[in-house]
Amino acid sequence: MKFVGLVFKSARRNLRRTMLTVFSVAIAVFLFAALRAVLDGFHAAAEASSSTRIVTIRSTSMIFSMPSTHAEIVRGLPGVRDVTWASWFGGIYKDPKNFFGQFAIEPESYLRMFPEIVLTPEQKAAFLEDRTGCIVGDGLVKQFGWKLGDKIVLKVGIPIYGREDFPFTIRGIYKAGSNAVDNQTMLFHWKYADERSVRPGEVGWLVSEIANPDQAPQIADAIDRKFENTPYETKTDTEKAFQSSFASMFGNLDLLLGSIAIAVVVTTLFVAGNTMAMSVRERTTEIAVMRTLGYPSHIIFFLIAGEGLLMSLVGGVLGASLARVLVTPSTFGGNSFMPPFGVSGRNVVIGVLLSALIGVAAGLIPATMASRLKIVDALRRAA
């Protein structure tokens, strides 16, 4: 349309101010898309978690452990098909800031119950044979530049594993077959850690495979009742619930990140709205002149609102594109508390729509002001 050119020329009038508006919207949309990506990552992990796997932890918290003999008791319960266990190792690779998850697992059953951990048969065999072997996710391999056969050393992070360093050999590099597992974790033989533990025979948590997902609540109940009134009481829940509670260790992420996103967007709305109002006030005479030339008030309205929309959309596209390119798991240093995530196409679209919304909302009042302007008053003020 012929008026679009006017909108562009108008936006160029005060280039610095236009740029500031564009960038503030870009930053808002960038933050919004990045926060959404993190949230989506957590939700996707919960969604992808298996409904036939239930997890048993100590009723107090997952950092307390329970005897490995619990596993045999659980295996005997009706409806339970398979059981495995794992412990949190918490070792340090070179520097505490190289944080990633390390699980001491019962290898055979664990790999059997987690088909999402994708390994070649040769690597799997090599891992099972080597007591000090480990398998690592391809995300970690990328982060640290490891390769098959590398020797890596973990310093002890939790004192129950003694003082001496733990050397490992990388026997396998796995890929994550779904969001239920992440590719930033190191897995190794539980026995290896247990040999040196001051509390041998203890495990962090149990994972049970059940025949029928509908029975999850009943079986979970049965497991927990089994250990009632023992020194090691348990709490059993589905993997999904476990994933969510894992995330909730950081507080209510949804609410926190959601509030941040809203605060940023609302602030930007005010900034953009104020900028628009300022530029309309400066242009009072021009608007009055255009009205004198016969421009009807609705076209004036659309010209001003269009300018707000244009600036916001440019900012939105900029911010969403940057988020898409820059926000990847490695943005957060490959922290293994973070599930794999990225800015989805859907979030790009939502981000751009959000910027459009900011633009329209910010332009609404100034555009109304401009279209309601009394021509003679505006001309008189300038003279």
Ligand X SMILES: Nc1ncnc2c1ncn2[C@@H]1O[C@H](COP(=O)(O)OP(=O)(O)OP(=O)(O)O)[C@@H](O)[C@H]1O
Q: Which stretch binds another protein (CB under 8 A): 55-63, 138-146, 257-265, 372-380?
A: 372-380
129 binds ligand X (CB under 6 A): no
233 binds ligand X (CB under 6 A): no
Q: Which does 294 bind (CB under 5 to 8 A by kind): another protein, ligand X, none?
A: another protein
Helix runs in 49-151, H state only: 69-75, 107-113, 121-129, 138-144
Q: Is 50 left (phi over 0), alpha (psi -120 to 50) or beta?
A: beta
**Cα(195)–Cα(190) distance, integer angstroms:** 9
Question: How many residues form the binding site for ligand X (CB under 6 A)?
Answer: 2
Q: Report the DSSP beta bridge partners of residue 334.
A: none
Measured from the CB of residue 376, what is the shortest distance to ligand X in angstroms? 6
Q: Report the DSSP beta bridge partners of residue 118.
A: 175
Within the chain, what is the greatest distance between any pair of CA atoms? Answer: 94
Q: In terms of CB distance, is 356 or 379 closer to ligand X?
A: 379
Measured from the CB of residue 293, what is the shortest distance to another protein in angstroms? 5
Measured from the CB of residue 297, what is the shortest distance to ligand X in angstroms? 19
Give the Å distances, CA to CA, from 219 to 56, 116, 165, 284: 11, 23, 40, 73
Q: Which does 285 bind (CB under 5 to 8 A by kind): another protein, ligand X, none?
A: another protein
**Residue 243 CA to its chain's centroid (Å):** 13
377 binds ligand X (CB under 6 A): yes
19 binds another protein (CB under 8 A): no
Two tokens, residue 64: 């307390």
12 binds another protein (CB under 8 A): yes
382 binds ligand X (CB under 6 A): no
Look at residues 163, 141, 37 and name the one whose alpha carbon lies nearest to residue 91.
Answer: 163
285 binds another protein (CB under 8 A): yes
Q: Which stretch binds another protein (CB under 8 A): 171-179, 227-235, 346-354, 374-382?
A: 374-382
337 binds another protein (CB under 8 A): no
Give the Å distances, CA to CA, from 161 to 66, 154, 157, 374: 16, 11, 8, 81
Site residues (vs another protein, CB under 8 A)? 2-3, 6, 9-10, 12-13, 285-286, 289-297, 299, 375-376, 379, 382-383
